[in-house]
Amino acid sequence: MSRVETRNPDRDAPGRVIKVDALARVEGEGALYVRVRDDLIEDVKFRIFEPPRFFEALLRGRPYSDAPDITARICGICPIAYMLGASRAMEDALGVVLDAPLEDLRQLIYCGEWIESHVLHAAMLHAPDFLGMPDAFAFAKANPDAVKAALRLKKLGNTILEAVGGRAVHPVNLAVGGFYRAPKKHELQALLPEIEFGIEASATLAKAFAGFDFPDFDYDYTCVSMRSDKAYAIEEGRLVSNRGLDIPVAAFPDHFFEEHVAHSNALHGRMRDGSPYLVGPIARYNNNAGQLSPAARDLAREIGLGATVTNPFKSILVRMVETFHACEESLRIVAGYEEPERARMPIEPRAGKGSGVTEAPRGICWHSYELDDEGRIVGATIVPPTSQNQPQIEADLACVIARNLDLDDEALKWRCEQTIRNYDPCISCATHFLDLTVDRV
């Protein structure tokens, strides 16, 4: 059943048309339109038709301290990315630096989000594509042990989110400057046995997924991610690319911009020269693999990942390596955890501008705010990962379709869906949307 009318003025144009009216196994509402004429691709559009929610407008006038809870509601799958991106930006504006133990707690809750989000996507949403199955329920019938292990691993991510944040979707314990209440030592210690399980299970699943048949496709991506001197960057660092870019967080708008195109409800992120770029697991891996834990590097080698990954279908493997890394990182933080002296840094509201970025599961998520002298928000800009990836998704689609024109329509449609799902697109996030009506072909 079609859930959206594809308003296509070229409906009567001859040629082969592939439409996916409601893209499944993604977070949010998206669709795809492709037109091919005489074996030439005339048009590829990955559309996002989430209605606009105007977060940047409705934040204006609210106190700085409201931003984490409000922006969390951009996405139920990766609320930490918004809560911590907003917090970082506010702390930048207000001149606040967190105590080291609070940074560790933030890294821990972010690991929980990576585990929950990556395993949801890899095992429940993406793996069925490689198995020719409609969903994880069919996967569970064929291989109950793998799906049960994946669900238990995903639950570990949620348990970490609950232990540090109070609940898994839209945690309540995160604040600008730290936390409302620091977790008790015994509350975190209780996570240890399940984290041990997670390390083992993520490696097992990674090896199982490595046996999939990966479509033959490579792309020379411009990979953009954070980089930190201390660790495989998740919630602290500057911005780098594999083409030599190395900039402070605040310089993001000097190098990237968002374009308002007619065919999608998400803005499209591009480099200043107009070219697409890649954010997310493959970009992080290609830029920072040397900083993964030694065991995570061994795992990557064992499942056939080289120093860099250029086949986007292998993003599922990179997600599992990152999941393994996040489990190891959680073990390190929990094992060394002592209750901090204070849960939250003191803050004096003042006027200022600040920017912050973190590595959401799907890639960098950039925030920028301007505050008045009471600490109320005067202006807000949020650049989520899926809108940055959208031009690259369309570029991948054009290449994948060009090499798979021999497939019948149903098979080609599925391959296109799979190509989009490589990105784990979070359409709810990519939300500066419009409901599209204009086809500019």
Measure CA 134 to chain center. 23
CB 251 within 8 A of CB 35: no
Paired tokens of 124: 């429940």
Among 36, 86, 140, 195, binds other proteins (CB under 8 A): 140
In angstroms, the CA 334 to CA 186 distance is 10
Q: Among residues 147 and 289, whose Cβ is nearest to other proteins? A: 147
Binding mask 77-106 for other proteins (x = CB under 8 A): x-x---------------------------
Site for other proteins in 347-406 (CB under 8 A): none
Q: Among residues 50 and 328, whose Cβ is nearest to other proteins? A: 50
Site for other proteins in 142-161 (CB under 8 A): 144, 147-148, 151-152, 154-155, 158
Q: List the one residue out of 153, 155, 146, 150 whose CA is nearest residue 197.
A: 153
Q: Among residues 120 and 393, whose Cβ is nearest to other proteins? A: 120
Binding mask 403-422 for other proteins (x = CB under 8 A): --------------x-----
Q: Is 76 near other proteins (CB under 8 A)?
A: yes
Site for other proteins in 181-200 (CB under 8 A): 181
Q: Is 63 near other proteins (CB under 8 A)?
A: yes
Q: Among residues 259 and 298, whose Cβ is nearest to other proteins? A: 259
Strands (E), 281-376: 352-360, 363-371
Compute the residue count for the chain: 441
Q: Among residues 155 and 238, whose Cβ is nearest to other proteins? A: 155
305-310, long-range: CB < 8 A, 24+ apart: 308/242, 309/282, 309/285, 310/218, 310/219, 310/220, 310/221
Quickly list DSSP for 100-129.
Answer: HHHHHHHHHHHHHHHHHHHHIIIIIIIHHH
Minimum distance between the CB of residue 51 and other proteins, rounded to whole angstroms? 5
Q: Give the angle 119-125-129 at the CA atoms, nearest 5°.
A: 125
Q: Is 40 near other proteins (CB under 8 A)?
A: no
Size of site (CB under 8 A) for other proteins: 71
Site for other proteins in 259-298 (CB under 8 A): 259-260, 262
Q: Is 253 near other proteins (CB under 8 A)?
A: no
Q: Give the angle 305-27-418 at the CA atoms, nearest 5°.
A: 45
CB 387 within 8 A of CB 430: yes
In angstroms, the CA 122 to CA 134 distance is 14
Give the other-Cβ count within 10 Å of 182's Cβ. Answer: 22
Minimum distance between the CB of residue 71 and other proteins, rounded to whole angstroms? 9
Query: Of all helices (H) and strands (E), which one includes residue 241?
Result: strand 238-241
Site stretch for other proteins (CB under 8 A), options 100-108, 164-172, 204-212, 216-224 = 164-172
Q: Is 359 helix (H, G, I), strand (E, B) or coil?
A: strand
Q: Among residues 60 and 185, whose Cβ is nearest to other proteins? A: 60
Site stretch for other proteins (CB under 8 A), options 94-102, 294-302, 327-335, 432-440 = 432-440
Minimum distance between the CB of residue 437 and other proteins, rounded to whole angstroms? 7
Site stretch for other proteins (CB under 8 A), options 2-10, 37-45, 227-235, 316-324 = 2-10
CB 65 within 8 A of CB 71: no
Minimum distance between the CB of residue 53 and other proteins, rounded to whole angstroms? 4
Binding mask 197-236 for other proteins (x = CB under 8 A): ----------------------------------------
Q: Beta strand pairing status for 377-383 and 363-371? A: antiparallel
